Amino acid sequence: MNSLLKHIQNKEAYAEQKKNYLLNLKKKLADSAGNIKPTYEIQRELYNIYISYESDSAIVYAKKNVNLAIEQNMDFWRIESQLDLAAFYLTGGMYLDADSLLRQIKPTRIDHYLRIKYFDTKQKFYRFYAFQHLEHEKYIALSDSYRDSLLSILDTASYHFKMVYSEKLIDQDKSEEAKKIIFGMIKNIKEDTHEKAMLAYSLANVYKKEDNLEKQRMYYIISAICDIKNAIKENASSRALASLLYKMGDIEGAYACIRSSMEDAKFCNARFRSYEASQIYPIIEASYQDNEREKRKILGTFLVVASILSALLVTAVIFVYRQKQRINRVRQELYSTNMKLREFNDKLHVANEELIRVNQEVSSMNKKLSEANQIKEVYIGHFLDLCATYIDKLERYQSTIKKLIMGDKINQLLRLVKSHEMIDHEVQELYNTFDTTFLHLFPDFIGDFNSLLRPEERIEVKDSEKLNTELRIFALIRLGISDTAKLASFLHYSLNTIYTYRAKVRNKAIMDKDEFDKMVMKIGQIRIT
């Protein structure tokens, strides 16, 4: 379906290719002026292209050929062109004009080729006319009669015979026979031609009778893509697909297809196709608009909740930043105190009384240092727990939205809500904030930590990282978070992953594993000498 939507978006590019081809044909037509046969053949080729692209231009060239045939007294050309003109009148819904032309032609007085074309046009005329008339069955029967006449004079090995005969089998509910014939033809078509589009459309109609929605959908899509790539504006597959998708609950896909169908029908001025599309377009459009309103409502709710959570997160960051400033002030005070302690140590030889006083101040300062480190760890731990809580809330909210959408069968938004992009982003932001905060408090952590490992096993951090996973685990341990379940919850890893990382790093240590954990807890301590 995504492929079809991309082709619908690129319709103009395919139409531009057809316009260029038509310009070249018109140039050839101008160059053939005065040469009757090439003029007739090029005008007929232009008609055959325009009949499914831009019907107003098709009628121009069909009428030119009728007039040219009359001027040259060429009965074969005249009848052929009249049949072309009648075929145009059918696509344009001009049934009386088509009937008037067909009544002028006597099938017993024309050759085999024209008789085939005549019977084909007649059976299509009654088939089209039946949809607009109260006596539907009567005209369907007349169409079937002319179809039988057509089959009786066609070469049974020809593509035309197989196509018409398969349509008859479909009408007779002989699906398996019809599919066998159509599959035999479609497998020999390698390119996405108009013939492939018609065969795929016929196959879809077979599966429609069998009520096989998936197969029906698949072949309508193939047919629609072929029509788009060949810039066929007079088509039925897009409208049929829109109706099917609406039935299957794909409102957005149905809306895209019915809009494309309406645009094509208006461009081509195909009244019959416009009539078909207009029967379902208002229904699909109304459902699409309801769907869009519901999506906007859900999105609005999501944005409000996300905004609230974002505001709470910003508040938390501001709170942690202020605590960090307080800790820095305490560190500065401690540094000043340590400087004084050095002065006191220089004066130890003066008197024992001075030594006792200095020792008391040192003891007091060490107590303050211990309390400051404890405050630092508590605030950091609180900040990490708070950030992890916000991430869990976002996950629960996303799960709730997913259930609501699944209940309403809004497939497109479901895929959006299933995305973990927002959660992954918040987790990465949490990591970055943690890394920055931690390294501000323990700027020498990486070097001190590597000094506990064997030289060949020391950890190198990439330029794009501040801490990697291994360092981040032991940074949390340094803050006192040693419980494996809490580590796994914060880092969004499994318990086994945390166990594996811890064991792997311990095996690299230059000391006993138990001693290694103790040394990690001592990293960053201020030593008084």
Look at 292 and 156; give whichever has higher pLDDT.
156
Q: What are phi and psi of 509, to 5 degrees?
A: -70, 155
Nearest to 152 by CA among 139, 168, 140: 168
Which residues contact residue 121 at a Cβ distance below 8 angstroms, ignoring those fewer than 6 apart?
83, 86, 87, 90, 98, 102
How much is the average pLDDT of 34-49? 93
- Least confident piece of the model among 217-221, 238-242, 374-378: 374-378
How much is the average pLDDT of 88-109? 87
Measure the CA–CA gap between 354 and 206, rounded to whole angstroms.
Answer: 106
Q: What is the DSSP letter of 453?
A: B
Tokens (6 digits) for 253: 């896909």
Q: How many angstroms separate the Cα of 415 from the Cα of each of 4, 402, 405?
A: 19, 9, 10
Q: What is the DSSP letter of 455?
A: G
8 A C-beta contact, residue 220 and residue 240: yes
Measure the CA–CA gap between 58 and 84, rounded to whole angstroms.
Answer: 9
pLDDT at 151: 95
222-249 in b/e form (b: 16+ CB < 10 A) is: bbbbbbbbbbbbbbbbbbbbbbbbbeee
Which residues contact residue 320 at a Cβ distance below 8 angstroms, ignoring those fewer than 6 apart?
379, 380, 383, 437
Tokens (6 digits) for 411: 């497939």
Q: What are phi and psi of 453, to 5 degrees?
A: -105, 160
8 A C-beta contact, residue 445 and residue 331: no
pLDDT at 222: 92
Q: CA Rg, the chain, in Å?
A: 41
Look at 143 and 384; give whichever has higher pLDDT.
143
Measure the CA–CA gap between 261 and 233, rounded to whole angstroms.
Answer: 8
8 A C-beta contact, residue 249 and residue 279: no
Q: What is the DSSP letter of 51?
A: T
Place of tokens 């809330």: 393
End-to-end CA distance of the chain: 74
Look at 354 and 126; give whichever has higher pLDDT.
126
Biggest alpha carbon–alpha carbon distance for the chain:
141
Using CB atoms within 10 A of its CB, is residue 43 exposed (0-12), middle (13-18) or buried (19+)? buried
8 A C-beta contact, residue 239 and residue 277: yes
Q: What is the DSSP letter of 110?
A: S
* Residue 25 confidence (pLDDT) above 90: yes
Place of tokens 């692209």: 53
What number of helices (H) and strands (E) belong to the chain?
23, 0
How much is the average pLDDT of 246-252? 89
pLDDT at 85: 92
* Residue 526 confidence (pLDDT) above 50: no
Measure the CA–CA gap between 62 and 365, rounded to whole angstroms.
Answer: 105
- When pLDDT is cut at 50, 70 and 90, the band that residue 345 belongs to is low
- Least confident piece of the model among 15-24, 375-384, 491-500, 511-520: 375-384
Measure the CA–CA gap between 524 and 425, rounded to whole angstroms.
Answer: 30
* Residue 371 confidence (pLDDT) above 50: no
8 A C-beta contact, residue 432 and residue 466: yes
- pTM as predicted: 0.53
* Residue 375 confidence (pLDDT) above 50: no
- Least confident piece of the model among 46-60, 217-231, 265-279, 444-458: 265-279
Place of tokens 């999105």: 299
Place of tokens 């108009």: 194
The strand pairing partners of 509, in sequence order, are: 453
Using CB atoms within 10 A of its CB, is residue 198 exposed (0-12), middle (13-18) or buried (19+)? buried
pLDDT at 368: 46
Span 192-222, pLDDT tens digits: 898 999 999 999 989 988 899 999 999 989 9
Tokens (6 digits) for 521: 């807890």
Span 153-190, pLDDT tens digits: 999 999 999 999 999 998 898 989 999 999 999 988 88
Span 6-23, pLDDT tens digits: 988 898 898 899 999 999
